[in-house]
Structure 1
Amino acid sequence: MAPFLLVLLASLAFSPAISRPDGGGFYDPARVTQLSWRPRAFLYSGFLSHGECDHLVNLAKGRLEKSMVADNDSGKSVMSQVRTSSGTFLTKHEDAIVAGIEKRVAAWTFLPEENAESIQILHYELGQKYDAHFDYFHDKKNLKRGGHRVATVLMYLTDVKKGGETVFPNAEGRHLQLKDETWSDCAKSGLAVKPKKGDALLFFSLHINATTDPTSLHGSCPVIEGEKWSATKWIHVRSFDHPQNVRTDGPCSDDNELCPRWAAVGECYRNPTYMVGTEDSLGFCRKSCGICDA
């Protein structure tokens, strides 16, 4: 993602209301609460109507399969006791309601619809959970399509009688959140959000300078009473629908036409992780930063 786009994301919670011509992309910033700056996390009260929540649940019923996780080394989807829910992916623009929700997500996050994966519907029954994990990748295979996941929008489709909270164990200020007996023990281990039907949680997995944010570690606490339905929208730094042939190894290159301009104003030194990269993930402007072999 270009540096100027990352700067824009920092202020999204305080931007004016935005609407699309068909109304599907409307969002109201007055309903957004900033939960944390490390990680950057925001809660939208009533992002979905109850009717939209019920519609998503009904679409998923009969299509659920055991949830998988991405293997850190191979990048392949594998079964794991780390994640014990069941789920299914909808298709993009599956119907008018789904299309409207996707427009609303794009309007709120200021990120293009094409950068996002399809909505994943998840169902957690009694005792089911998802242990703490990162939404950014550790393998090169998944980085080839759209790059890292920069943001996640987690929409709660049902209330949960007890448990099922989303928890950030590494969040700064996690000890300042007051919790009573209505919170599960799992939720008390970090900054937590209770599932409430219609609410949506937005958090960023990357810093403003495009480096990965370890404070974005998060998990879904076990359901203690009732059941939990949620919908997840993962959004990448580049197009997920039309991936470019971005190299994650081999000779250095530029992956953005603006790389020479950014290099000329000193971004190679101010933002080396994005421009040059690290041992695990190559940057996007290696040629303009002058690190190619002679």
Structure 2
Amino acid sequence: MAPPSRIIFSLLTFVTVGMIIGALSQLAFIRKLEDSYDTESMPFRRLRGLESSYIQLPRGLNIWNNDNESKILRLGYIKPEVLSWSPRIILLHNFLSMEECDYLRTTALPRLKNSTVVDKNTGKSIQSDVRTSNGMFLSRKERKYPRVQAIEKRISVYAQIPIENGELIHVLRYQKNQFYKPHFDYFSDIFNLKRGGQRIATMLMYLTDNVEGGETYFPMAGSGDCSCGGKIVQGLSVKPTKGNAVLFWSMGLDGQSDPNSVHGSCEVLSGEKWSATKWMRQALHT
């Protein structure tokens, strides 16, 4: 039998070697993740330490290209930017690809109808002059399409809410002079609360560029002024940029509805604003 000291030494050696291997593996992964941002398939990238300098890279150069899961999650493309902690708002740059934006817009176009709002007394959808856009919901059959499944999974991962807790994707079009006055995404009626609980969070994805006005406006966020449909107002606004997405929470960290999450869509001055919305619930949405 080996002396106890030799056994202890062997165990310590084994643990030390394991820790070294683990550390090297973590460093390699982090390095791979960093490199993916440096080699993303966009026309330009920012040089480290040189905020005003750019170099051009060939399109399609991305080390995640052979990893299907990473393609679905767009690792190396999406850049999160925290806009506000109260209410909680995160801007996700490059959340959708240009092809995904065009796909959602093309799918929705022939099926657009006048947008509605939820009647707080009955829970039913009604037309209202507070919302003047056109929209449609993707069907449950379309939800199973690979392209839609990829978007749904990406939303679930970044929001950290299970896919099955989400409502069907809602595509909207705002034309000139159309808007949606400030409102809450959380429910005030019992009917909708029974079908999956309260809305926790919203992922709002922009599908077009070249829009004047049409900002997403949070009057209770920020501490300064912002632009909203050509007017200067107090609060925080996000300009619609194709491929970007805004993730915000309708519930606070205390689990209660957050009145600071009030938001609206500013009036479109020119062009068309297209967006896709995913509302996420507390429980399985039926």
Structure 2, unmatched stretches of 5+, are 1-29, 34-66
CA contact (8 A) 2:77 2:94 kept: no
Letter paired with 2:73? G
In 2, the alpha carbon distance for the partners of 1:102 and 1:187 equals 35
Partner of 1:85: 133
Task: Provide the residue aligned with 1:207 in structure 2.
Answer: 252
SS in 1 for 2:203: strand
The letter for the 2-side match of 1:162 is E
Q: How does 1:77-156 map to 2 (within 5 A)?
A: 77-92=125-140, 93-156=143-206
Cα distance, 1:88–1:222 mapped onto 2, change above 3 Å: same
Residue 61 of structure 1, CA deviation: 1.1
- In structure 1, the partner of 2:101 is 53
Say if 1:34 and 1:43, in contact at 8 Å, map to a contact too: yes
**Aligned counterpart in structure 2 of residue 32 of structure 1, from 80, 83, 107:** 80
CA contact (8 A) 1:154 1:201 kept: yes
Aligned equivalent of 1:227, options 272, 276, 282: 272
Work out whether residues 211 and 240 of structure 2, in 8 Å CA contact, stay in contact via their aligned partners in 1.
no
Unaligned runs of 5+ in 1: 1-15, 242-294
Larger Rg: 2
Q: What SS does the aligned partner of 1:208 have?
A: coil
What CA distance in whole angstroms lies between the structure 2 residues aligned with 1:153 and 1:41? 10
Tell me if structure 2 keeps the 8 A contact 1:125–1:226.
yes
Name the CA distance, whole Å, in 2 between partners of 1:229 and 1:189.
Answer: 25
Secondary structure, counterpart of 1:107 in structure 2: helix
Q: CA RMSD in A?
A: 2.2
Q: Give the TM-score taking structure 1 as reference length.
A: 0.70
Deviating more after overlay: 89-98 vs 38-47: 89-98
What is the alpha-carbon distance in structure 2 between the residues aligned to residue 130 and residue 217 of structure 1?
12
Residue pair 2:83, 2:91 contacting (<8 A) in 1 also: yes
2:115 corresponds to which residue?
67
Structure with more strand by fraction: 2
> 1:85 and 1:184 mapped to 2: Cα distance?
15
Superposed displacement of residue 95, structure 1? 1.9
Query: 1 CA distance for matches of 2:88 and 2:232?
Result: 18
1:83–1:48 Cα change, 3 Å: same
User: Aligned pair 1:43/2:91, yes or no?
Assistant: yes
Q: 1:139 to 1:47 in 2, by over 3 A?
A: same
Q: How many residues align?
A: 221
1:39, 1:204 within 8 Å by CA — same for their partners in 2? yes
Give the Cα separation in 2 of the matches to 1:129 and 1:184: 9
* 1:27–1:104 CA contact under 8 A, matched in 2: no
Per-residue CA deviation, residues 202-257 of structure 1 (Å, 9 max, x unaligned), is: 0000011210101100000010011100000000011104xxxxxxxxxxxxxxxx
The 3-state SS of whatever aligns with 1:108 is helix
Residue 30 of structure 1: how far off its partner (Å) = 6.4
Identity among equivalent pairs (%):
46
Deviation at 1:24, TM superposition (A): 2.0
2:234 alignment counterpart: 189
Q: Distance in 1 between matches of 2:268 and 2:136?
A: 19
2:219 is the alignment partner of 1:174: no
Q: Secondary structure of 1:62's partner?
A: helix
Deviation at 1:174, TM superposition (A): 3.4
